[in-house]
Structure 1
Amino acid sequence: MSPLDGSVSWVVISAGYELHPETCAFLETLRAPDSSVNTERTYAGRIALYLSYCAERGIDWTRPTLVQLSGFLRWLVEEPLPSKGRVVPPERRYREEKTANAILSTTSRFLDFCSTRGWVPLEVGNMLWEPKFLHHLPPGYDAGEDGQFRVIRSRTIKFRVAVEGYEWLLPEQIETLIGLTRNARDRFLVALLAATGARIGEVLGLRREDMHFLSDSRVLGCYERGPHVHIRRRANNSNGALAKSRRPRSVPVEADVVGFYADYQHVRDTVAEAGGCDMAFVNLFRPPLGEPMKYHGAKDLFDRLAARAGFAARPHMLRHSAATRWIRAGVDRDVVQDLLGHVSDQSMEPYIHSTSDERREAVERGAEHRKAGS
């Protein structure tokens, strides 16, 4: 953590507490003003895992063979993870194949980076990728006028895993989560995520000045109509929260969200330590009181809510739910894209969901049409 501005950066060290210079150089390329510290942290852990695997087996990390990298990939799913909590007997947990693929993808990117700087032989970087021709283009993908972008680089080593659908919550499930919260702050947090479709990093990075919950905000110098919240990217949030989108946006909210915020402010005002903090979400019930709420606090909250509700619940599922709700209500896709803070229309595809009832209705209508024509 920088003593100058409090910014967080990640490094990788050996067992003897020596910096690994190549990894630190790679991580520094991720340390741009518009990058998330969470990406840097994740990549650091993945590369450290690869380096540790090589060190324990006497493998030169700069010259791995395809066989050795395949062994690393298998080890990632076969090596048990540390047990969580104090379960007796300890629960045996393993990485999923898609997680192993992600780790090897980062490792390949790191080795590729090193090969361009002469730290790793070029043949190592070249063997990690192979050309792949896209016969079927993803929605929104531009193949170029002459199809020159149909050939992409694909990793040579990876598990074949099925592409899972994006998870979302039904309106009644969201109401259940809100009803299961045990304090006004958590109730407002869940309701705000559900109403705005914002990312958890965007919400945790909100300041009190971003809450324009008056019916007319012109007194605040804002001409956005009705209650709304401003989502802005700030790189200096002390809790590490970062808005992914570089473009600021405002998202309208409904009266119930404003009511939840008023309840939260009433409780917050009773905690003296919170008075000097301008962040919207702060710790009110456990030390350090008044400090900004962090990612792990939000994760713990949703883990508890999911356990009480009996179904999966994560912050990003509320984002998918909001997008799906808007699209089904007939909101123009360009407007939904703007509300979500997406730059590309292609990013909208994951948010188009159908329920089992809708799929059943489609099949039954198709059967009726077939019978009518026979």
Structure 2
Amino acid sequence: MVISSGYELHPEACEFLESLRAVDSSVNTERNYAGRIALYLSYCAVRGIDWTRPTLWQLSAFLHWLVEEPLPPRGRVAPSEPRYREEKTANAIVSTASRFLDFCSTRGWVPLEVVNMLWEPKFLRHAPPGYDVGEDGQFRVVRARTIKFRVAVDGYEWLSSEQIETLTGLTGNARDRFLVTLLAVTGARIGEVLGLRREDMHFLSDSRMLGCSERGPHVHIRRRANSNGALAKSRQPRSVPVETDVVGLYSEYQHERDKVAEAAGADMVFVNLFRQPLGEPMKYHGAKDLFDRLARKAGFTARPHMLRHSAATRWIRGGTDPDVVQALLGHASGQSMEPYLHSTGEERREAVERGAAHRKASS
């Protein structure tokens, strides 16, 4: 929810967030959007701007203010140097504000002319891989935001096998070790893993007694409502095979959690063992805190989604058919596979050296 400084609900913003829940957006998406909308509304309130009727100049000023205004300190101690938002972060905030205004226009709260100035038609001369432009090219014209910074596309981050081993070695308990390993070997999203139930863990060599025809140890990933807000992004259920060492780590974790009375009978796989409330499902912020601690100890950036990229990269380099990788990751479209096609510096150098050798041999 979004509230004013007087602790009053902002009805339009709250209805927009409710619309996100209606289409099963994740808790993280709703939380991020709520913060961005609150930032836009606060900016307008301080400057006396009618948030329902901003001008193009005012929205452009908001975009630049986002990168020029120092961020508040994270803790009690102020940093030695001020922190600022990146331009891509400012773009994301303005994009959310534009989507909010777009939604409000459908309810009659924002004039249509305001929304029309936020977007402009753009002709896709070169369509992205996998994009269907239509038989007559009718889908080549798309809507593009008018207010944004031009920023370079960041490379997708992933972790090497050695870095993953470092992270697992730094974990201080069986639960965290199993969590990191499961993310790394299944390529599952953090929301999917935090939403696992015990009934999803089919770690027998033969699961027919469980009513499952899948052979060998595997994990079932299903989209369902969970009390911790975890949500599987894909609507289609899938199963991902795992190796026996993962089964061993799960057994160690089961032994660890059975020592905590509140957690012994819990239905969710990942639960609180070391903080209150004991036995309750582990939440997103708990997983984030874990990876932040591991990253500080390891000395490199580590986030749950990086392990998903690592798994996909490992499968592709191992010669796994792209359709199989797509099924393992739970992607509905092959176009979604593009971010996971990583190459290393060694691979790029080998390609250049092969080209140079071929050129010399031909001359």
- Which contiguous aligned blocks of 4+ residues in structure 1 show a shift greater than 6 angstroms? none
Unaligned runs of 5+ in 2: none
Distance 1:299 1:264 in 2: 20
- The match for 2:334 among 323, 332, 345 is 345
Cα displacement (A) at 1:88: 5.3
Alpha-carbon contact 1:62-1:119 (below 8 Å) kept:
yes
Distance 2:106 2:78 in 1: 49
Cα displacement (A) at 1:125: 0.7
What's the CA shift string for 1:123-144, capped at 9, x where partnerless? 1111001111111110100000
- The match for 1:263 among 252, 265, 271 is 252
Matched, 1:124 2:92: no
1:324 is matched with: 313
Matched, 1:198 2:198: no
Alpha-carbon contact 1:180-1:308 (below 8 Å) kept:
yes
Alpha-carbon contact 1:239-1:294 (below 8 Å) kept:
yes
What's the CA shift string for 1:149-202, capped at 9, x where partnerless? 111111111011100110011111111111111111000000000000000000
Matched, 1:275 2:264: yes
Give 1:1-374 correspondences, 5 Å limit: 11-32=1-22, 34-87=24-77, 89=79, 91-235=81-225, 237-374=226-363
Distance 1:34 1:66 in 2: 32
Alpha-carbon contact 1:34-1:246 (below 8 Å) kept:
no
Q: Cα 1:50–1:233, aligned 2, differ >3 Å: closer, same or farther? A: same
Alpha-carbon contact 2:69-2:84 (below 8 Å) kept:
yes
Cα displacement (A) at 1:217: 0.9
Distance 1:146 1:213 in 2: 50
Amino acid at match of 1:152: V
**Matched residue of 1:30: which SS?**
helix
Distance 2:167 2:8 in 1: 46
What's the CA shift string for 1:46-68, capped at 9, x where partnerless? 11111110000011111111110
Tell me the TM-score normalized by structure 2. 0.97
Amino acid at match of 1:273: E
Alpha-carbon contact 2:66-2:90 (below 8 Å) kept:
yes
Unaligned runs of 5+ in 1: 1-10
Worse overlay, 33-42 or 240-249: 33-42
Cα displacement (A) at 1:80: 1.4
What's the CA shift string for 1:214-233, capped at 9, x where partnerless? 11111111110000011111
Cα displacement (A) at 1:86: 4.2
Amino acid at match of 1:245: S
Tell me the TM-score normalized by structure 1. 0.95
- Percent sequence identity over matched residues? 84
Distance 2:290 2:361 in 1: 53
Cα displacement (A) at 1:40: 1.8
Cα displacement (A) at 1:91: 4.6
Alpha-carbon contact 1:184-1:264 (below 8 Å) kept:
yes
Distance 2:74 2:10 in 1: 29
Alpha-carbon contact 1:83-1:91 (below 8 Å) kept:
no
**Matched residue of 1:152: which SS?**
strand
Cα displacement (A) at 1:90: 5.1
Alpha-carbon contact 2:129-2:335 (below 8 Å) kept:
yes
**Matched residue of 2:54: which SS?**
coil
**Matched residue of 1:185: which SS?**
helix
Distance 2:283 2:271 in 1: 8
Worse overlay, 36-45 or 188-197: 36-45
Distance 1:53 1:341 in 2: 39
Q: Cα 1:323–1:46, aligned 2, differ >3 Å: closer, same or farther? A: same
Cα displacement (A) at 1:19: 2.2
Alpha-carbon contact 2:73-2:79 (below 8 Å) kept:
no
Cα displacement (A) at 1:36: 1.5
Distance 1:60 1:278 in 2: 49
Alpha-carbon contact 1:133-1:151 (below 8 Å) kept:
yes
